[in-house]
């Protein structure tokens, strides 16, 4: 009996992952890199990422993969969803307000699409945000861990600087709070050997850099 159950289970998983791989990008690159957003007792927001221009998040292109629906924006692009916005401690924007994140400046050619939890890629909108495709520069953050998708068509280094502020439901800054700022750094790197498809890509790339 156990044997039969296992066989059925394995067949179901194979069917599921087959569909998922055909339609949606996967969170290929690990670990998660969280942008910690906090508020101090003077109502000033802070945001911190453990990355820099010298230690950027890599954007990878996965040859042979194509994505459907809004995720097709990532087709033939170098991309990552490694960065995730997350609250650090208690952040209370006040009733009716929320945390907004607004693009201040970025390298030409960097694009952003709305993501979410990494385990729920099928639920994500992939809507263009932060000025991509003429979208608004500001984006209303739910306060839940959100891993947006960053993409670029060309190899190279990219960065984006954001203001993190308390806004009303329309995104207007609310008096009494001070904004924080953070810069995210990216590097679109050449596709490593097909091992990248097994999830070993970043390991190989790291070794090569140090070696
Ligand atoms: Cu995360």
142-176: per-residue pLDDT in tens? 999 999 999 999 999 999 999 999 999 999 999 99
28 band by pLDDT with thresholds 50, 70 and 90: confident
Q: Residue 24 above 60 pLDDT?
A: yes
Distance 30 CA to ligand 1 centre (A): 10
Give the residue, 63 or 175, on which the prediction is more confident: 175
Confirm if 117 and 129 have CB atoms less than 8 A apart: no
Predicted TM-score (pTM) of the model is 0.80
Task: Please give the residue range of the domain that contains residue 136.
Answer: 25-194+201-210
- Give 175 Cα–ligand 1 centroid separation in angstroms: 30
Report the distance separating Cα 54 and Cα 134, nearest Å: 30
182 inside domain? yes
Q: Residue 39: inside a domain, yes or no?
A: yes
Instruction: Give the Å distance between the CA of 82 and the centre of ligand 1.
Output: 8
DSSP tag of 41: T
- The Å distance, Cα 144 to ligand 1 centre, comes to 9
9 located within any domain: no
Cα gap 55→155, rounded to integer Å: 16
Ligand 1 center from residue 1 Cα (angstroms) = 39
Note whether residue 7 is domain-resident: no
Query: Which residues, in sequence order, are CB contacts of 25 under 8 Å at separation 6+?
Result: 62, 65, 67, 71, 74, 79, 81, 121, 149
Ligand 1 centroid to Cα of residue 3, in Å, is 36
Whole-angstrom distance between the N-terminal and C-terminal Cα of the chain?
Answer: 51
**Residue 1 pLDDT greater than 80, yes or no:** no
Q: pLDDT class for 122, splitting at 50, 70, 90?
A: confident
Say whether 117 sits in a helix, a strand or coil: coil
Nearest to 147 by CA among 174, 118, 122: 118
Indicate whether 12 belongs to any domain: no
pLDDT > 50? residue 204: no
Structural domain contains residue 5: no
Number of domains in the chain: 1
Q: Specify if 10 maps to a domain.
A: no
Determine the distance separating the centroid of ligand 1 and the alpha carbon of 146, expressed in angstroms. 7
Q: How far is the CA of 66 from the CAs of 3, 74, 154, 187, in angstroms?
A: 35, 8, 18, 21
Which pLDDT does position 3 carry in this prediction?
A: 42
């Amino acid at each position: 009996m156990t044997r039969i159950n296992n066989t059925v289970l394995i067949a179901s998983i194979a069917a599921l992952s087959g569909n998922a791989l055909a339609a949606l990008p996967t969170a290929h690159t690990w670990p998660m890199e969280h942008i910690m957003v906090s508020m101090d007792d003077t109502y000033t927001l802070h945001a911190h990422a453990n990355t820099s221009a010298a230690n950027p998040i890599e954007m990878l292109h996965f040859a042979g993969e194509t994505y459907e629906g809004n995720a097709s924006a990532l087709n033939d692009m170098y991309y990552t969803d490694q960065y995730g916005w997350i609250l650090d401690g208690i952040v209370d924007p006040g009733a009716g307000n929320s945390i907004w994140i607004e693009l201040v400046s970025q390298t030409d050619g960097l694009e952003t699409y709305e993501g979410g939890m990494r385990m729920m890629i099928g639920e994500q909108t992939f809507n263009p945000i932060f000025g991509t495709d003429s979208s608004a520069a500001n984006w209303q953050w739910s306060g839940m861990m959100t891993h947006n998708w960053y993409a670029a068509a060309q190899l190279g280094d990219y960065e984006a600087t954001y203001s993190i502020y308390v806004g009303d439901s329309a995104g207007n800054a609310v008096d009494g709070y001070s904004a924080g700022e953070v810069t995210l750094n990216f590097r679109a790197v050449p596709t490593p050997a097909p091992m990248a498809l097994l999830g070993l890509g970043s390991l190989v790339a790291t070794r090569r850099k140090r070696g």
